[in-house]
Amino acid sequence: MFETLSDRLTTVFSSLRSKGRLSEADINATAREIRVALLEADVALPVVKDFIARVKERARGAEVSQALNPAQQVVKIVNEELIEILGGETRRIRFAKNPPTVIMLAGLQGSGKTTLAGKLARWLKQEGHTPLLVAADLQRPNAVQQLQVVGERAGAAVFAPEPGNGVGDPVDVARRSLDHARHAQHDVVVIDTAGRLGVDAEMMRQAADIRDAVRPHEILFVVDAMIGQDAVTTAQAFLDGVGFDGVVLTKLDGDARGGAALSVRHVTGRPIMFASTGEKLEDFNVFHPDRMAGRILDMGDILTLIEQAEQAFDAAQAERMTTKFASGEDFTLEDFLEQMMMIRKLGPIGNLLGMMPGMGQVRDQIKQIDDRDLDRVAAIIRSMTPEERRNPKIINGSRRARIARGSGVTVGEVSSLVTRFFEAQKMVRQMAGGLGIPGMPGRRKAAKAAKAKNKKGKQRSGDPRKRAAAARGPKQPAAAPDGAAPTGLPPGLGGLGGLPPGLGGQLPPGFQMPDLGDLQGRKNKKKK
């Protein structure tokens, strides 16, 4: 959503990095570009004026003039002011001391209240609560049925005593839901109210009646982030008519310019609490002003990426995989498929890469990433037999043809996957072996294994000549000259500094290298 704004601001700041000192003209030009970028992003004009005034005031201060890198200081100022506009601190739900906690959703029709109710219920369940969804939208056709379907997908109970479609009293339903929640031991009640195509007196009166009947602990105003500056007008009308405690932004995955997110909080004074970033129930996050500001300025959002990984990854599965690698077992195609499916749970690959710092510069390349490539890889691996997954070396030409037919791909794609897997397997072995770095776990294990092997003693050869050579022992090297350290090498190689530690300074029997002096003498004799 903030792609256009992010690109404009990135361009503005890139022009500052080449300047060792900022003049008054540089500050004015930068402020002018930021103003244009915000207005193009559909940010409300009063918000833009206040924002630019604060940035210019701080940019003229000592924190920039005395800084070693003025450009970085300006970026820091803009980042801090963006965080302030977006709310400053993360606002959490205030739960009641005596359950149930009542949360009322309000907003225009089409803003996504019913779907958001299911997303909120799913999030509450993950936080350890037992939510109850209440179908108090009895005007919109099939609104009750939609909430029941969404609640079933979210795994949350739904209180819907009235059929809807214009039948029933929403105030009475909301009031009765509290008794039902206490009886069924639900600690959170989420009330889905009716919306209208526009702000009108009847809508405000009904929402106010529900508010007075249940006295909610939190009233969340659900606003479509794609309606631009009109979101500010709607939010102000709801604030005056009903009142609300927090804002929820929906459809942040759209192609709108994002001005609503920067305007609603500043105009209403109410914090943005949640953000909906997709159509799926899991596309729902707590709104963090600092992280959103980082995304706008192309600084990434690593914390959100980590949180999503913690939710998607199975701790027991990850521990099992770590133990397997540490024990020296080979990385198989089964493990490869398992790891790929864990990454797939995090969502679209493009979204994950978009959370990395600096990815705004390669946004066009990220958009070309197709998640269906991972599905094709999974289909190829699942078309293999268990033995082929454990030991891909046995996959010959006929097996590759069979796997290609089973997965609906070409033989070349199967061969490419197997080749890439062997490269990944080699990399995993290097990581498990500590990459040869002293002190790494894999290196210590290898040293212990070598030590244990030496303790087993020498094995007896079946060749009589080798047994006799082993009985005589290795040939003793010539004594080193006075003042020189013995190297353990044959005569003539003493100047090479010896063999690496661990080889004992000796070559195996039968592999002694000839003396360089003898070689030179034979060479001169042949010339004569």
Residues annotated within the binding site for GTP are: 107-114, 192-196, 250-253
Q: What is the DSSP string of 169-238?
A: -HHHHHHHHHHHHHHHT-SEEEEE----SS--HHHHHHHHHHHHHH--SEEEEEEEGGGTTHHHHHHHHH
Strands 272-276 and 284-286: antiparallel
**Spatial separation of the C-alpha atoms in residues 219 and 245, rounded to whole Å:** 5
The answer to whether 259 and 229 are in contact (CB under 8 A) is: yes
Angle 522-523-528 from CA coordinates, rounded to 5°: 95
Q: Binding site, residues? A: 107-114, 192-196, 250-253
Q: Count of CB atoms within 10 A of residue 109's CB?
A: 17
The token pair that represents 384 in the structure block: 């293999």
**Spatial separation of the C-alpha atoms in residues 349 and 367, rounded to whole Å:** 10
**In terms of DSSP H, where are the helices of 242-326?**
259-268, 289-296, 302-312, 315-326
Dihedrals phi, psi of 217, to nearest 5 degrees: -80, -30
The token pair that represents 309 in the structure block: 């990984």
Q: Which of 298, 117, 129, 85 is nearest to 194 (CA)?
A: 117
Q: In this structure, is the dihedral angle defined by the CA atoms of residues 287, 290, 259 and 91, taken in order, positive or negative?
A: positive
Q: What is the DSSP string of 470-504?
A: HHH-PPPPPPPPTTS---SSPTT-GGG--PPTTST
